[in-house]
Structure 1
Amino acid sequence: MKKIVLLICVTIANIGFIYSQEKKSPNVLVFYVDDLRAELGCYGSKTALTPNIDKLANEGIQFNKAYVQQAICAPSRMSTLTGLRPETLGIYSIFTPLRSVHKDVVSLPQLFKENGYKTISIGKVYHHGSDDKKEWTHYFGKEPNTYNKPENIAVMEELKKAGKSPKGPAFESADVDDEAYKDGRAAKYAVETLQKLKDDKFIMFVGFSKPHLPFNAPKKYWDLYDKNKFEIPQRKKPDNMYRLALTNWGELKGYHGIPNDVEYLDDSLTRDLIHGYHASISYVDAQVGKVMKALETLKLRKNTMVIFMSDHGYKIGEYGAWCKHSNEEIDVRVPLIVSRETGYKKRVAGKTSNALVENVDIFPTLVELCGMKRPKTDGKSLLPLIDNPGIEWDKVATSVYARGKNIMGCTATDGEWRYTEWRDATTHNVLGAELYEHKNSLLSFVNLAGNPKYSKVEARMKNLLETQFHRKKGPFLQNDTPRN
């Protein structure tokens, strides 16, 4: 009898321990990568070598149709960190810090800090380092780009002497250790901070700058690829594309050695840049591996949700264009991988989801995960979808992009079709429309808007757009001057 009583007591104690472990507020680790489209092995890339990110995807859920709210750094990151869309915040450019306009908006680091979490920002998290700097208990700001080859260091010195903007060459492959470039140092800071905070509740954002320009990465990552095997993208712009839909080269034009007097970059330079983009991705992948290894070694993985995400997509020569700055599918669709704590992740490990999700959903997801009272947001928690990837979800995802002060591009996708209206910001009149099919590709080369054959599709997509952008509440009131 005594043995039975003792067994019951031990069993109850074990259940209590397990329950307390499950109820313990989880940690959160977010890898926030700059300018990364879904050019990853796990997403079917035929070229990118990304074993560590692929492993993470195999441990969690990979979202195949995740979208950002604007394909430019500052507004996209503000949207993630506040759970509010750019049209709610009224900020559409890289030049306006969040807190210069909104003093009272509740941000993710602010809320988590108020709820007893250690909040860590490493590298590029907000675009503007001044935003919410005091809300991070541990802050490692983004560092400037550096060059390691003597000839490139000399170029930078000459540019500075000439009083020009110190943007050096667009790529570099120095034979150096990972920490010679800033993303290697970011991984080092992350590992060291995890070691210090292993007994605390924490939310850590690790902001990797690559594959943003310049494509500077250690030579060993360049050596993973053969430049000559990269294909030159089709440089054709879509037929009947709205005249302001693309910016040809974006910020690439500002880098030393990039010609400004040609219609397209030559094949050799194009391949160098594509090579550099891939080398930078593999460099970031290695840093992800280091941080994940530390999480496992410190036995933190069992109670840490890990998110891998990007602030927007990117073009590496497609349409004859470069960088982001558009409403095109290739610029607004991004990788998103969510791996729950050990125990949870076993049920859904290696699953993929084609549900339409958005970066604006990250804030409410983390708030619900950690049991906090949620402020008003434009996004919705993804936890039900993470627990059951096959359930029915949203029918539309939306993004915006402004052209100057007076024109706004509003775009919606149902996962197969993308419909965009370019509107007068004051009158709301439609200045141009675009309809592209993306059932099997990120690229589409014919604008089907106005084509009678696709009138039903266009009407349906227009209706989806209108349900999100009400005419009287559309994304038109701007608090800053957008960048074209």
Structure 2
Amino acid sequence: MKKILALCITALCLTQCTAQENPPNVLVFYVDDLRAELGCYGSETAITPHIDQLAIEGVMFNKAYVQQAICAPSRMSMLTGLRPETLGIYNIFTPLRKVHKELVSLPQLFNSNGYKTISIGKVYHHGRDDKNVWSTYFEKEPNSYLKPENIALMKRLKDQGVQPLKGPAFEDADVPDEAYKDGRVANYAIETLQKVKDDKFIMFVGLSKPHLPFNAPKRYWDLYDKNDFEIPSREKPDSAYRLALPKWGELKAYYGIPKEGDLNDELTRDLIHGYHASVSYIDAQIGKIMNTLETLDLRKNTTIIFMSDHGYKIGEYASWCKQSNLEIDVRVPLIVSRETSYKNRVTNKTSDALVENVDIFQTLVDICNLEGAPPSDGKSILPVLNNPELEWDEAAYSVYPRGKKIMGCSVTDGKWRYTEWRDATTNEVIEAELYEHKNSLLAYVNLSGNAAFAKAEKKMTKLLEKQFPREKIFPQKDLAKK
């Protein structure tokens, strides 16, 4: 409550930024459901030349983490600089402004510092959050199907009153990029850049793919041979907490996906193929926007941030989608490329520093020298951008509830991931998990309670309690319903 009151007071005294003579523009590519399945991150299958080039032009983070592996809370956390446990919102159903009308968000802060603020595509999960705050707002669009057979299917399902109304999980129509929504997002971003080229701006470009359904123009599917994709191991972590893995109902709601049991190899390959096609599709849109920056001579004074709202499973652990505290769901790609005129600009470097998406808020405050910034749960990673080998945070944290009664609290030190499942009202530990991730995103044995790893577990327990002390009760403004 004290923190929220402090934020209210700060909101009243935001002032115009005058400290920096020429603060940079900012362009944020905010991608939905994207794990580090990119060429620059070592993927042997993903074709992502434009994102790879962006990594060459900046600092790529190997150990970047979200605060919760689900869209709405993750995005709220980044846009406010506050963790889900500070906001007290852990699900996709509650808009930020329904609970917190007083918080100062990034678009509000940049507005007060003289910037044009631009939201294109999916930025907040709930479009109505801060809708009237942005200088320019381009509404996110619903998913669409373009193949005649799928259009007819959707009409039939609607006429039958099927709920939720979900079509096929993938589509490969032979259409131009702008026929699907991310192509239109890119076109609108390009048009907007031409309009604001003489203004100071922060632009968020929210790309919806590779979120389901994996709908992308056929030419991006044609980049891949589906038979080249290996079927991930369906092995589940041994002795994992019974609720550690999600039920992945998000995928099962789509037409043609079995409601029970594992997917067969054929359907698994189709979905992996669709995920990769979707990633290559958004990579091409990023390339168009970056080319426009260069053409308009804006790159010299524009900082670029490429990020995702959470990771994703495409068949690993016989599971799909996100919604867990597992390493594969909370680790994300993050690339920051400073404006070319920045005198300390670092390029073509990889950092192993532990950073979090909640850090982006304070980082932008420092990069743009903004005045009147409210308190933040994150901290600026500008020192790491200037020196990617710098020793940094000792841990990164995430949460994920299971219903209203159980909260999963998780921490990583870059090698170990430790998770406690706690009673959400008493904070009593119900069960714990310890996984080693020194060489892989995946781990198959829960080492918690194993005497041979007691030292590691003790260390991770202490790290966890720094952020989630046992005596701290979680705010429950809206615990997840699923």
**TM-score interval for Structure 1 and Structure 2 normalised by the shorter chain:** over 0.9
Aligned residues of 1:94 and 1:483 also touching (Cα < 8 A): no
> Deviations 1:261-295 (Å, cap 9, x if unpaired)?
3x210000000000000000000000000000000
Query: Is 1:126 aligned to 2:124, yes or no?
Result: yes
1:168 maps to 2:181: no
| Aligned match of 1:6 | none
Instruction: Give the Cα separation in 2 of the matches to 1:162 and 1:142.
Output: 27
| CA displacement at 1:364 relative to structure 2 | 0.5
**Does the 8 Å contact 1:74/1:94 carry over to 2?**
yes
Look up the match of 1:268.
Answer: 266
Distance in 1 (alpha carbons) for counterparts of 2:79 and 2:179: 29
- Counterpart contact for 1:195–1:298, Cα < 8 Å: yes
Structure 2 residue corresponding to 1:69, chosen from 67, 70, 80: 67
Q: In structure 2, what residue type is equivalent to 1:149?
A: K
Q: Is the 8 A contact 2:408 2:420 kept in 1?
A: yes
One-letter amino acid of the structure 2 residue matched with residue 371 of structure 1: N
- Identity of paired residues, percent? 73
Q: How far off is 1:155 after superposition?
A: 1.1
Aligned mates of 1:279, 1:266 — CA distance in 2: 20
Per the TM alignment, residue 110 of structure 1 is displaced from its structure 2 partner at its CA by: 0.7
- Tell me, in whole angstroms, the C-alpha distance in 1 between the residues paired with 2:39 and 2:407: 35
Rate the CA distance shift 1:407–1:305 in 2: closer, same or farther, 3 A: same
- Are the counterparts in 2 of residues 250 and 325 from structure 1 also a CA contact under 8 Å? no
Q: 1:42-65 deviations in whole A, cap 9, x for unaligned?
A: 000010000000000000000000
Alignment of 1:39-118 (within 5 A): 39-118=37-116
From 297, 300, 306, the counterpart of 2:295: 297
1:120-269 alignment runs, 5 A limit: 120-164=118-162, 165-261=164-260, 263-269=261-267
| Number of the residue aligned with 1:396 | 395
After superposition, the C-alpha distances for 1:323-364 in whole angstroms (9 at most, x for unaligned) are: 000000000000000000103387410001000000000011
**Structure 1 position 114, deviation (Å):** 1.3
Q: CA RMSD in A?
A: 1.3
Cα contact 2:33–2:308 (8 A) shared by 1 = yes
SS in 1 for 2:432: strand
- 2:11 matched residue in structure 1: none
- Asked whether the equivalents of residues 327 and 417 of structure 2 are also in contact (C-alpha less than 8 Å), the reply is yes
Letter matched to residue 193 of structure 1: T
Equivalent residue for 1:11?
none
- Give the residue type in structure 1 aligned to 2:411: A
Moved more, 414-423 or 162-171: 162-171
**CA 1:347–1:367: 2 relative to 1, 3 Å:** closer
Q: Which amino acid aligns with 1:461?
A: M
Q: Specify the code of the residue in structure 1 equivalent to 2:211.
A: H
**TM score, norm. by length of structure 1:** 0.94
Give the drift of 1:471.
2.5
- Could you say which structure has the larger radius of gyration? 1
Q: Does 1:332 align with 2:330?
A: yes
| 3-state SS in 2 of match to 1:410 | strand
Q: 1:396 and 1:60 mapped to 2: Cα distance? A: 23
In 1, distance between residues paired with 2:472 and 2:138? 38
Find the residue that maps to 1:57 and give its secondary structure. Answer: helix
Task: Compute the displacement of 1:203 (Å).
Answer: 0.2
Matched, 1:355 2:353: yes
Matches within 5 A, 1:372-383: 372-373=370-371, 374-383=373-382
1: CA distance, partners of 2:120 / 2:159: 31
Q: State the alpha-carbon separation in 2 of the partners of residues 209 and 345 from structure 1.
A: 34
8 Å CA contact 1:400–1:411 kept in 2: the answer is yes
Unmatched 5+ stretches in structure 2:
1-17
Which whole-Å CA distance do the structure 1 matches of 2:109 and 2:427 have between them?
36
Q: Distance in 2 between matches of 1:288 and 1:255?
A: 28
Paired residue for 1:32?
30
- Which residue in 2 is equivalent to 1:8? none
Tell me which amino acid in the other structure corresponds to 1:432: E
1:386 equivalent in structure 2:
385
Structure 1 position 372, deviation (Å): 1.3
Return the offset for 1:162: 1.2
SS at match of 1:411: strand
**Partner amino acid, structure 1, of 2:65:** Y
1:235 and 1:345 map into 2 onto residues whose CA distance is 49
Distance across 1 between alignment mates of 2:99 and 2:334: 29
* Partner-residue secondary structure (3-state), 1:193: helix
Contact 1:59 1:345 in 2 (8 A): no
Q: Which residue of 2 aligns with 1:4?
A: none
Encode CA deviations 1:390-439: one digit per residue, 9 max, x unaligned: 11100000000000001000000000100000000111110110000000
Moved over 4 A (4+): none
What amino acid maps onto 1:428 in structure 2? N
Quick one: distance in 2 between partners of 1:401 and 1:483?
A: 12
Instruction: Indicate if the aligned counterparts of 1:30 and 1:205 stay in contact, CA closer than 8 A.
Output: yes
* Alpha-carbon distance, 1:472 to partner: 3.1
Asked if 2 retains the 8 angstrom alpha-carbon contact of 1:339 and 1:345, the reply is no
Amino acid at match of 1:384: P
- Separation (CA, whole Å) in 2 of partners of 1:391 and 1:57: 18
2:3 alignment partner in structure 1:
none
SS at match of 1:87: helix
**What CA distance in whole angstroms lies between the structure 1 residues aligned with 2:74 and 2:117?**
20
Aligned residue in 2 for 1:286: 284
After TM superposition, list the pairs within 5 Å mapping 1:303-314 onto structure 2: 303-314=301-312
Q: Counterpart of 1:364?
A: 362
Amino acid at match of 1:51: P
Q: Output the amino acid matched with 1:342.
A: T
* SS of residue matched to 1:364: helix
CA distance, structure 2, for counterparts of residue 158 and residue 396 of structure 1: 51
Residue 112 of structure 1 aligns with an amino acid whose one-letter code is F
Q: For residues 416 and 220 of structure 2, what CA distance do their matches in structure 1 show?
A: 36
Q: Report the alpha carbon displacement of residue 159 of structure 1 after superposing the two structures with TM.
A: 1.3
SS in 1 for 2:182: helix
Count of residues paired in the alignment: 463
TM-superposition CA deviations, 1:120-159 (whole Å, max 9, x none): 0000000000100111010001100001100111111111
CA-CA distance at 1:112 after TM superposition: 0.5
Per-residue CA distance 1:286-317 (angstroms, 9 max, x = gap): 00000000000000000000000000000000
- Corresponding residue to 2:475 among 450, 453, 477: 477
Contact 2:427–2:472 (8 Å) recurs in 1: no
Which is worse superposed, 370-379 or 393-402? 370-379
**TM value normalised by structure 2:** 0.95
